[in-house]
Amino acid sequence: MRKIQMVDLKSQYEKIKTEIDSAIANIIESTAFINGPEVKNFQQELEKYLGVKHVIPCANGTDALQVSMMALGLKPGDEVIAPSFTFVATAEVIALLGLTPVLVDVDSNTFNIDPEAIKKAITPKTKAIVPVHLFGQCADMDVIMDISSKHNLFIIEDACQSMGADFIMKNGTKKKAGTIGHVGCTSFFPSKNLGCYGDGGAIFTDDDELAKKLRTVVNHGMTVRYHHDLIGVNSRLDSIQAAILKIKLKRLDEYAAARNNAASYYDNAFKGNPKLKTPARYAKSNHVFHQYTLITNGFDRTKLIEHLHGKGIPAMVYYPIPMHLQKAYQDPRYKEGDFPVTEALAKSVISLPMHTELDAEQLKYITDSVLEFVNRY
């Protein structure tokens, strides 16, 4: 049996090695390392795939979020609503820009931001909401877009974990994660669903004016060379990464199907087990399983992780500490107990290996090993 990994990028690479190696060699040969034709090329392919008017490539997903907030003209003191159960990047850029993060709890089934909690958190200072499509499944964008129109708020989708996921709007139209709000952000970090071989990111929008501003901000606020109209940043996608992403984008749906196969295997193995709650499937969004995350019940999660590690199976906790309990984000407005769902999830979730290369033998070994431990209780 091949060694089990949380994410097996090596086995995935082996299958596309010829194509990737030749694409990388071509870029080196051309020496168009930055903003070469491959970047434009990938941008257009991604626009087509997502059905969105503008893709603005940038250096990483964190930059995508920061640049979006800058281009939308958010100012210190503006309140931005974000979930308390997520990766730090969301709250980080809000804080870096001097905006005020307003945290809200998540839904205990989908792990995603709770629209009812959003409604309660809106004040006259609220300017934007950042729904995070956590673990590969979309937040309830219907309700969130309704809240946005009613209160005139920007929606910045954090689609870093949900590349390729579809959301079915209440009028029946299918939209890709990240293309529903005013602006969408993604990351091409190697372990993401569409990952490159380094850092990378992109911003999506249908708004022509906003796209122009986003392109300006990622390029030092420059419109005409050495004319700086806005304060910007330096955030670029390398040509080598773009060339790799173009090759992997062609396989993204196939990759999502492989992740779903693994998820179904896990689901079947753990079905009905009172000690393990399998991930809820939300009717309006398909799941692209960036992570396969179980909620454990009635046993010590750390002991299960130790048991799995002892058998050569990695397992991780995403995320062990809620945002409001992080040292850097201590805030007199928040204390332990304020976000009960997030706090309970942080104590009980466990993520199993999830990637495109898991085979039946590995899946059987993983599920048998989990059940061997859990059934002891």
Ligand X SMILES: *Cc1c(COP(=O)(O)O)cnc(C)c1O
User: Which residues in this chain contact ligand X in the complex, by CB under 6 A?
Assistant: 60-62, 86-87, 89-90, 132, 158, 160-161, 187, 189, 199, 201
User: Phi/psi at 257 (nearest 5 deg)?
Assistant: -65, -40
Q: What is the closest distance, in whole angstroms, from the C-beta atom of residue 200 to ligand X in the complex?
A: 7
Nearer to ligand X, 188 or 334 (CB): 188
Nearer to ligand X, 84 or 90 (CB): 90
199: alpha, beta or left? (left if phi > 0; alpha if psi -120 to 50) = beta
Q: What is the closest distance, in whole angstroms, from the C-beta atom of residue 64 to ligand X in the complex?
A: 7
DSSP track, 236-267:
--BHHHHHHHHHHHTTHHHHHHHHHHHHHHHH
Q: What is the closest distance, in whole angstroms, from the C-beta atom of residue 310 to ligand X in the complex?
A: 28
Nearer to ligand X, 61 or 181 (CB): 61
> CB under 8 Å to 15, separation ≥6 — which residues?
none
Helices (H), the chain: 9-30, 37-50, 61-71, 89-96, 115-121, 141-151, 208-218, 239-249, 252-270, 301-310, 340-348, 360-374
Q: What is the closest distance, in whole angstroms, from the C-beta atom of residue 62 to ligand X in the complex?
A: 3
Q: What is the closest distance, in whole angstroms, from the C-beta atom of residue 209 to ligand X in the complex?
A: 25
Nearer to ligand X, 62 or 179 (CB): 62
Question: Rounded to an integer, what distance in angstroms lies between the CA atom of residue 194 and that of residue 164?
Answer: 9
Residue with CB nearest ligand X? 61
201 strand-pairing partners: 58, 187
Q: What is the closest distance, in whole angstroms, from the C-beta atom of residue 273 to ligand X in the complex?
A: 28
Nearer to ligand X, 133 or 246 (CB): 133
Nearer to ligand X, 181 or 363 (CB): 181
